[in-house]
Amino acid sequence: MGRLFGTDGVRGVANSELTPELAFNLGKAGAYVLSKDVERPVVLIGKDTRISGDMLEDAISAGILAMGGNVIKIGVLPTPAVAYLVRYYHADAGIVISASHNPFEYNGIKFFNGEGFKLDDDIEDEIEDIILRNIDVNSHITGDRLGRCLEAEENALTLYAEFLKQTIDINLAGMKIAIDCANGASYKVAEKVFRELGAQVIAMGNEPNGININDQCGSTHPEKLQAAVRANKAHIGLAFDGDADRLIGVDENGQVIDGDRTIYICMKMLKESGQLTGNLVTATVMSNLGFHKAVESLGCKVEVTQVGDRYVLESMLKTGCVIGGEQSGHIIFLNHTTTGDGILSALQLLKAVKLSGRTPSELASEVTIYPQVLVNASIKNENKKKYMNHPQIKEEIERLEKVMEGEGRVLIRPSGTEPLVRVMLEGKDTGSITKLAEDLAALITKNLG
């Protein structure tokens, strides 16, 4: 068995790769590691709407209880709700059972610490080492040393909704909003929040049945939401993924507002209100060149990280940056929370629209999105990181960068799981950059495949 923890927890096909036995062991090992500092750790558990959620929730709970930890089950709520509520309940850790935007047959388990941040790598490594080496950490405790499932004193969904509402200081009266909850974790709380703030809400993707999560809906499939915005003449559309930690917007004309544009719109609002610390925004290497140019036109700077919201957050904590995220719609507002939160991001976007007095399409148009072309180059695993040391490949990359003269760029990323590298070119003309990307990918495969 290889490494369990990826960049966003442990994932796999439920009951095949991510089994109840593995979930039980994750609960047991996690409680053991946590109990080094706390004699009886309290762990908060939330989940999305997948049919496998109940099975994995019970299995991981049993592992925690067997180690003397206590469990608070908060039911179906977004991933960021767990990050917030773990602090509210003064729990020692939080667990989310979700595979985010993946199909329903997949599931995942990710941990948060008591401050609402994802676990440090060294703690994940310790939990993983216990499982992979099959170390028996269970002292087979009995009697009153066993853990219990505790009842939350207050309704978790209501607490999270109230938190979200206080992140903006305006109401949404007069706005007609279409939302797509992906038949996932936000299917109750999102509509509740927007309605209570005064908006007229057209809701879809809010009838989960355990197997329809992310199925042709939500942030990865906004087509139905786009049609609903146009048909209902809504002011804006908001699409979340299965665990509601990301947001993709739709303007009043039915056009997609991706993460880059949402970050820019909200960053500009923060700058105008004097809240953009250091005139800095954080984004990944995949952020569009047009995003960079728009940010720089405001006299601000983009701090660039590798792909993954974990790396965005790490950079933000180091620099003091208050907003950062990814094209995919993972956006972190560090003044409000510790992780990406789709509903919170939606509220900030709505606030920016309200304060500006302009339409979403007008705000989004300030960022000119350059076409991006992605081509895979098949190479041997051992050669994944050798492309920049190969004279012919290095020379071709440098040539392409000169040809585009600041109006495009070349980005090459080795795949973490497959024997290939991804060649991405960005520029003004799709046809020309497609040909350049294909030729570069062929050159890489020829020399390193």
**Residue 328 φ then ψ, to 5°:** -70, -10
pLDDT given for residue 152 in this prediction? 83
Both tokens of 295, joined, read 């940010």
Tell whether the model's pLDDT for residue 6 goes beyond 80: no
Q: How far is CA 378 from CA 316, 381, 384, 409, 446, in A?
A: 34, 9, 9, 21, 9
Cα–Cα distance between 120 and 125 in angstroms, integer? 9
pLDDT at 164 over 50: yes
pLDDT tens digits, one per residue of 174-186: 999 999 999 999 9
Q: Catalytic one among 52, 61, 98, 100?
A: 100
* Predicted local distance difference test score (pLDDT) of residue 364: 98
Q: Render pLDDT for 262-277 as a digit per residue (tens, 0 to 9).
A: 999 999 999 999 999 9
Find out whether 10 and 109 touch, Cβ atoms under 8 Å.
yes
326-347 in b/e form (b: 16+ CB < 10 A) is: bbbbbbbbbebbbbbbbbbbbb
Distance CA 18, CA 56 (A): 9
Say whether pLDDT at 153 is over 60: yes
Q: Does residue 98 have an active-site annotation?
A: no
Angle, CA of 361, 362 and 365, to the nearest 5°:
80
Give the pLDDT confidence score for residue 185 in this predicted structure: 98
Q: What is the pTM of this model?
A: 0.91
All structural domains of the chain: 10-153 (3.40.120.10), 159-364 (3.40.120.10), 372-448 (3.30.310.50)
pLDDT of 285 strictly over 50: yes
Flag the least confident range among 222-226, 355-359, 440-444: 440-444
Query: Rg of the chain's alpha carbons, rounded to an integer?
Result: 23
- Going by their DSSP bridges, the two strands 280-284 and 301-305 should be labelled as parallel
* Averaged pLDDT for residues 70-88: 97
Quote the mean pLDDT of the chain: 93
- DSSP per residue, 222-271: THHHHHHHHHHT-SEEEEE-TTS-BEEEE-TTS-EE-HHHHHHHHHHHHH
